[in-house]
A = this chain, B = another copy of it.
């Protein structure tokens, strides 16, 4: 009695994503995932090695996309130039366009990767990203402001910046709204940082 293989597999992934998002990896019950996907525990193990593999499969691609984004961004020096303007409305527009390209990275899977990965091999991802962001912040500030940013504030700001994006993605499913809110969020952070460094 065989159902098309891909169908079961996709159903499992979909229901797992839902459960993992709601409860995180550790608190998710494989039994419940499997049940809501309409198959059985035993069959699950025909598709995935174990609970962790299931999680990894959900998140792996996202993780790689993100790494890629980071790398590309490191090459693309010059973004900041656009941002070096006094006209806030202009700022917004430029930002919005930049975000347009980045936003696909900020998906539910990304939330999973950052917030739901405790107990998996991805559980350090959030820290890695925060470190990247922190270094990024410090570097840019030094470059443009000739002021040393407070190390602790840099770290806090980095984590908060990330948290904000996660928060928006979790709360708002509508793409347009999400885009606008992320833009505002980033704008908010740029303004805040400028205030801190006393510009």
Residues of A within 8 A of B (CB): 26-27, 88, 150, 152-153, 155-157, 159-160, 163-164, 167-168, 171-172, 177, 181, 184-185, 187-196, 198
Residues of B within 8 A of A167 (CB): 156, 159-160, 163
Q: Whose C-beta in chain B lies nearest to the C-beta of A184?
A: B153
Copies of this chain present: 4
A87 to chain B minimum Cβ distance, whole angstroms, is: 12
B153, B163, B188: the one contacting A163 at CB < 8 Å is B163
Q: B196 and A181: CB pair below 8 A?
A: no
- In the bound assembly, the distance between CA atoms of A120 and B198 in angstroms comes to 43
Residues of B within 8 A of A88 (CB): 195, 198
B172, B181, B188: the one contacting A192 at CB < 8 Å is B188
- In the bound assembly, the distance between CA atoms of A108 and B49 in angstroms comes to 33
B156, B181, B196: the one contacting A171 at CB < 8 Å is B156
User: Which among A160, A188, A196, A198 has the highest number of chain B CB atoms within 10 Å?
Assistant: A188
